[in-house]
Amino acid sequence: MDFSHLVVIAVSSIFINNFVLGRFLGICPFIGVSKKIDSALGMGMAVIFVMTLASVVTYLIQTFVLVRFELQYLQTIAFILVIASLVQFIEMFMKKNMPALYQSLGVFLPLITTNCAVLGVAILNIDATWADGSHYNFIESTWNGFTAGIGFTIALLLMAGIRERLELADIPESMKGTPITFISASLIAMAFLGFSGMSIM
Amino acid sequence: MDTTQIITAFLSVGLIGAILGAVLAYASKVFHVEVDPKVEKIAEILPQANCGACGYPGCSGYADAVVTKGTDITLCSPGGQDVIDQIASIMGVEATAGKAMVAYCACNGTKENAKDRFEYYGPEKCSSAVFVSGGHKACDYGCLGFGECVEACTFGAMYMDEKTGLPVVIDEKCVGCGACVRACPKDVMKLMPKDSKVYIACNSKAKGKEVSDSCKVGCIGCKICTLPNTTPSGAVKMEGDLPVINYELPDDLVAAKYKCPKSCFIDKGDAEKSAEEIAKEKADWKAADAEKTAAAKKAALEKAEAAKAAKEAGM
Amino acid sequence: MNKLQNFTKGFFKENPVLVLALGLCPSLAVTTSIENGLGMGMASTAVLVGSSTLVSMLKKYIPGSIRIPIFIVIIATFVTLIDLTLQAFIPSLSESLGLFIPLIVVNCIILGRAEAFASKKSVLDSIIDAIGMGIGFTIALVLISAVREFAGTGALYGYPLFQLMGIEGFKGSILMILPPGGFLTMGLILGFMQWNKVRKAKNTGGK
Amino acid sequence: MGNIIKLSSILFFVAGIAAGSLAFYNSFTKPEIAKLKAENETKARGYVLQGLIPDDQIPGLIYEEGQIEINGMKEKFWKVKTPGSNQYKALVFLAKGQGFSGVVETMVATDMNFKINGIKVLKHTETPGLGAEAQTVKYGDTKPFFEGWFKEKNSLNVIVEKDDPNSADKVQSITGATITTRAVCNSINKYAELVKKQMGAVQGQIVIDQSKVVSVDREAIMKARAEAAAKAEAEKDTTVTEDTPEGGKDE
């Protein structure tokens, strides 16, 4: 277990290759659920949770089913099936047994099933290789899922904070709403581009 | 072609599917939670793409918001017109079953009536203006007049009256969704039953002196409208320094309308009548009222005399 | 709604990306060149048509309570078919679209159309609708990628226009190819659409 | 309970049939994909050998596979012969290194003195406009400009200019993408070193009449190392290259 690998993964997936601002994954919820900081936070927490869990489950499916039976080409279908069912299960479980948590976090779960960031992180975990050709191991995959979720949350919170203020700004009629949101996202993405000069190796 | 591979693929992915299906079917029974059937019905109609385009957490989140918070029903873009129509029919059934409501502006602080504290040169939005020490109006509770409620209305049921600087609700178009109520930072927009005519056009909870300094038509909290001989039904009650109409109790509120020293009670029916008609009605009512009061006084006097007589007789 | 209207509504009036703001991830991520945008648009259209047809054909036999998982499986199957086909026959496109081919599965346009349209209407209508929406998606992608490619590299569909005309100097700004450029282009195009809408509303309102 | 069984068996069949039909389709595309991969590999090897070996001989070249071990993983490299000749003409290997945002794979061909003939960046996930420039062909050119920088450099010593401005084997870095350039250089160094080790062992064992080549080889390596230490000795590198006929030919 190489600890430096974990640091590299964290810095890379939170800042340099931020899922939303660097990789364009999860744009729909980024635009949809960033109107209020409260809901952005709830969504972010739910994404962190699901991404971590999805990384765990898909790693297991990949290793113990797909690779064992040489079915790697069925990756997409197996992953989406597992992620969708898992999320739905957690949602039902939470609704029944932890209503308080469900109110703040669980309501966002269905939105995450079809969030490309979750399937994206699962596939990236499998595809990613280190320089020596080795793939992410179990802990690295899980960690990548977790930190990618944090990266997503940071982007979402930034956007929500800006949009709450934009609500009060005097914006030309034709730029109100989604257009100005994209322009703001562009500016944040530019700021995040600054991280790409970082040498992490 | 490799048949064993096809069979392995069939079995392994099939089994994943079967296990997940069983777990979900079981879980849906064990973890079943009762929800409003309307929410379920709407959730059923929504595309289940869970894309978040509506701004709510998933389709069921939106369905819940539509039913419980009265959110706009036109937000689902993947569903398109079909879905909107279907939700409308579900919500429509509900709307007629309950009491139909319309919005009204509880402020008559027109440009003429209400004074300004200072001139405001910010973004022309109510929510922005509120940040500058509560708005430019001298009255802390009145309409700011930038029409954020009009923008919030998706049914075209509102417009800004350029002359008065106040929003106007077109009752025929208003569905009582309450979007304007939520949009107003001053809580000036309120809902009332569609079949009622009279409402109180003031939102000020301030004391009388303060109100009369800032607005010509503000409620000064004189409580005339709540007196038993004005509204015998008790439909008007004071809440702090502001009267509130209880629309559950039947009352035409005509007496309150004419007795209010600041004319805060507005009758929607008056809008169609000419000034002379209104004046005449008022005069008629006053005459009738005077007669009535005189009669009442007389009756009271007689009653008192009768009582006195009875007392004397008794002695 | 007649068939022609059904077909053309996705082009502009109900364009999935530009008007409905769906499927934003691929329309930002792969639109660095027209070639990629076109490839992604066609791949998505193929999946959309395939899954809509199948869902519409099977709509009577799918139990309501597990329809979503079944739709997902059907869509994922078509995505994998496309993925394998591209890998085998158009490897360059497969490489440049990369991760975003499997991610067609979670494109809200496809699941949304399957659920909202194909599961209710006839097979023919579903196919027409799917092709129309797919073309609309492709149009949007090509439009965005044309802006980004030209502003980013000074080329259109790989042809450096200025240099072909003998004008040196305009090489574009890399920024437009990078993520910020994607967001910026999207914002401006959506702004333009809104401007158009507001202007039309004003014109009709004024009369 | 009955409902659960019904639902899960439906899902079983749907998922199973989907997977089965994909497996069926895959059985057709799999050989295609493999063929394509092999074709691309051959093409890339031919591409980097251009110049070192006459164009008309490239299609008929014999590639002898060799193995190197890197971090516990087995990797291939190729010893290139022309048909009918006993002598290796060139070495080809696929160098992999951690770039800025992922692995960069570079196909490299060197002559028997480990002097680079040509490289080709095959796969990368670098930022467009920065690291991805490694594959960009400038308008009017036929090959990516990045590849040209590596020609004639010693694969064992090639280094980014910023890291050692005095080296004879320095390579300019791509604007804004030193990390990518460094990744390519380092991976080439590392793989060349391993290939060299392997070659030394192999050649020492087999043919005696190639001992001459080996000795030249060793001499070259010694000199290459000395030259890396001191810039003044850069001249000697050219003397070495003159010793190999292949090296001289491709000018």
Parse chain C into domains and list their residue ranges: 3-157+172-202
Question: How many Cα atoms occupy the beta-carbon half-sphere of B34 within 13 Å?
Answer: 0
Q: Which amino acid is present at D105?
A: E
Question: Which residues from D are below 8 Å from C66, CB to CB?
Answer: 7, 10-11
Q: Which of A21, A4, A6, A16 is nearest to A142 (CA)?
A: A6
Q: Closest to D15 (Cβ–Cβ): which among B6, B7, B13?
A: B13
Q: What is the ipTM of this complex?
A: 0.71
Q: Which residue of D has its CA nearest to B19?
A: D8
CA distance to partner chain D, nearest, from residue A148 (Å): 14
Element holding D45 (H helix, E strand): helix D2-49
Q: How far is it, in rounded angstroms, from Cα D147 to Cα D137?
A: 10
Contacts of C175 in chain D (CB under 8 A): 129
Whether C198 and chain A come into contact, CB under 8 Å, resolves to: yes
Residues of B in contact with A28 (CB under 8 A): 51-53
The SS3 assignment for A46 reads: helix
User: Which chain C residue lies closest to D34 (C-alpha atoms)?
Assistant: C88
Mutate: best of C81, C111, C125, partner B, most B CBs <10 A: C111
Residue B214, both tokens:
């800032």
Q: Do D73 and A133 touch (CB under 8 A)?
A: yes
Q: Which chains touch C (3 or more CB pairs under 8 A)?
A: A, B, D
pLDDT along chain B (315 residues), means of 10: 80 87 83 78 78 74 81 74 79 58 88 86 83 85 89 84 89 80 87 86 87 88 85 84 84 82 85 81 84 83 83 71
pLDDT at A156: 93
Task: Pick the residue of A66, A174, A180, A195 with the most C CBs within 10 A to test the interface with C by mutation.
Answer: A174
Residue B18 touches chain A, beta carbons under 8 Å: no
Please report the residues numbered 89 through 128 in chain B whose beta carbons come closer than 8 angstroms to any beta carbon of chain A. 122-125, 127-128
Query: What confidence category does residue A141 fall into, taking pLDDT thresholds of 50, 70 and 90?
Result: very high
CA-to-CA distance for A154 and A148, rounded, in angstroms? Answer: 10
Q: What pLDDT score was predicted for residue D233?
A: 45
> From C115, which residue of chain B is nearest by alpha-carbon distance?
B47
CB contact under 8 A, B27 and A29: no
Residues in chain D: 251
CATH class, domain B36-98, is mainly alpha
Residue D53 CA to residue D247 CA, distance in Å, equals 10
Interface mutation target, options C51, C86, C94, C99, chain A, most CBs of A under 10 Å: C99
Residues whose CB is less than 8 angstroms from the CB of residue B31 and which lie 6 or more positions away in sequence, other chains included: A92, A93, A95, A96, A97
When CB atoms are compared, the residue of A17, A73, A130 closest to D101 is: A17
User: What pLDDT, in 10s, does the model give residues A76-123?
Assistant: 899 988 888 888 888 888 888 877 777 777 667 776 776 788 899 999
Instruction: Give the residue from chain A lying closest to B126, CA to CA.
Output: A168
Q: Given this model, what pLDDT does residue D142 score? A: 78
β-pairing verdict for D116-123 and D103-111:
antiparallel
Could you give the dihedral angle defined by the CA atoms of residues D138, D142, D144 and D146, in that order, rounded to the nearest 10 degrees?
-100
Nearest chain B CA: its distance from A77 CA (Å): 8
Contact in structure between C105 and A80 (CB atoms under 8 Å): yes
Yes or no: domain B101-272 corresponds to CATH 3.30.230.70 = no
Q: pLDDT tens digits, residue range D185-201? A: 988 988 888 888 887 76
Enumerate the CATH 1.10.15.40 domain ranges in chain B, comma separated: 36-98
Local confidence pLDDT in tens for the 251 residues of chain D: 677 888 888 888 888 998 999 988 988 888 888 888 888 888 888 888 888 888 888 888 888 888 888 777 788 888 888 887 778 888 898 888 877 767 888 999 988 888 888 898 888 877 766 777 777 777 677 788 888 888 888 888 888 888 888 888 888 888 777 888 888 898 898 888 888 888 776 554 333 344 444 444 555 556 656 666 665 444 444 444 433 333 333 32
- Check if A93 contacts C (Cβ < 8 Å): no
Q: A175 and C84: CB-CB below 8 Å?
A: no
What is the secondary structure of C139-191 as a DSSP string? HHHHHHHHHHHHHHHSEETTEEHHHHTT--S----GGGTSHHHHHHHHHHHHH
pTM above 0.90, yes or no: no
pLDDT reading at A151 higher than 80:
yes
**CA–CA distance, C124 with C53 (Å, rounded to integer):** 8
D32/C88 touch (CB, cutoff 8 Å), yes or no:
yes
Mutate one of D11, D27, D28, D32 to test the B interface: name it (highest B CB count within 10 A): D11
Whether the CB of B25 is below 8 Å from some CB of chain A: the reply is: no
Write out chain D residues lying below 8 Å of B32, CB-based: none
The string of DSSP letters for C78-125 reads: HHHHHHHHHHHH-HHHHHHHGGGTGGGGG-HHHHHHIIIIITTS-HHH
B30 touches chain A (CB under 8 A): yes
CA angle B47, B48, B53 (to 5 degrees): 80
Pairwise CB contact (< 8 Å): A173 & C198: yes
Per the listing, tokens 């369905």 go with B63
CB contact under 8 A, D19 and B13: yes
Q: Determine the pLDDT at residue D139.
A: 67
Q: Going by C-beta distance under 8 Å and a sequence separation of 6 or more, which residues neighbour residue D175?
A: D130, D133
Chain C contacts in chain A segment 3-22 (CB below 8 A): 21-22
Min Cα distance C183 → chain A (Å) is 5
In this predicted structure, what is the pLDDT of residue C112?
A: 81
- On chain D, the residues whose CB falls within 8 A of the CB of B26 are 4
Q: What is the pLDDT of residue C1?
A: 55
Place of tokens 């196919």: C127
Q: Is D7 in contact with C160 (Cβ distance < 8 A)? A: no
Contact C73 D15 (CB under 8 A): yes
Residue with tokens 């969504």: A43
A100–chain C nearest CA distance, Å: 26
* Cβ–Cβ below 8 Å for D16 and B19: no
Query: Measured between CA atoms, how close is D184 to chain C, in angstroms?
Result: 20
Per DSSP bridges, beta strands B101-105 and B189-193 are antiparallel
Coil, strand or helix at D53 = strand
Nearest to D103 among A17, A131, A197 (CB): A131
B233-242: long-range contacts, CB 8 A cutoff, minimum separation 24: B240/B205, B241/B204, B241/B205, B241/B206, B241/B207, B241/B208, B242/B200, B242/B202, B242/B203, B242/B204, B242/B205
Confirm or reject contact between B13 and chain A (CB < 8 A).
yes
Q: Report the alpha-carbon distance of residue B78 to residue C110 in Å, rounded.
A: 10
Kindly list the domain boundaries of chain D, sorted by start residue. 44-249
Judged by a CB distance cut-off of 8 A, whether residue A92 touches chain C is no
Entry field: residues in chain B: 315
Other C-beta atoms within 10 Å of D7: how many?
A: 21
Centre a 10 Å sphere on the Cβ of residue D223 and count the other Cβ atoms it contains.
17
Q: Looking at the partner chain, which of B24, B28, B79 has a beta carbon nearest the beta carbon of C116?
A: B79
Establish if C163 touches chain D: CB-CB under 8 angstroms: yes
Cα atoms in the 13 Å half-sphere on the side-chain side of A150: 13
Alpha-carbon gap: A197 to the closest alpha carbon of chain B (Å):
34
Smallest CA–CA distance from C101 into chain A, residue: A76
C-alpha distance from residue A33 to each of A41, A63, A106, B300 (Å): 10, 34, 14, 67
In the predicted model, residues of chain C with pLDDT beneath 50 are 206-207
Set of chain C residues whose Cβ sits within 8 Å of the Cβ of D145? none
> Which of C:155-194 have CB within 8 Å of B?
none
Chain B neighbours, 3+ Cβ pairs < 8 A: A, C, D
Q: Which of C190, C193, C196 to mutate to test the interface with A (most CBs of A within 10 A)?
A: C190
Q: Do C72 and A25 touch (CB under 8 A)?
A: no
Determine the residue type at C101.
Answer: I
State the virtual CA torsion across B289, B294, B298, B301 in degrees, nearest 10: 100
The tokens for C13 are 């009036």
Chain D residues with beta carbon closer than 8 angstroms to that of B25: 3-4, 7-8
- Name subunits touching A (3+ CB pairs < 8 A): B, C, D
Q: What is the mean pLDDT of chain B?
A: 82
**pLDDT level of residue A148 (50, 70, 90 thresholds):** very high
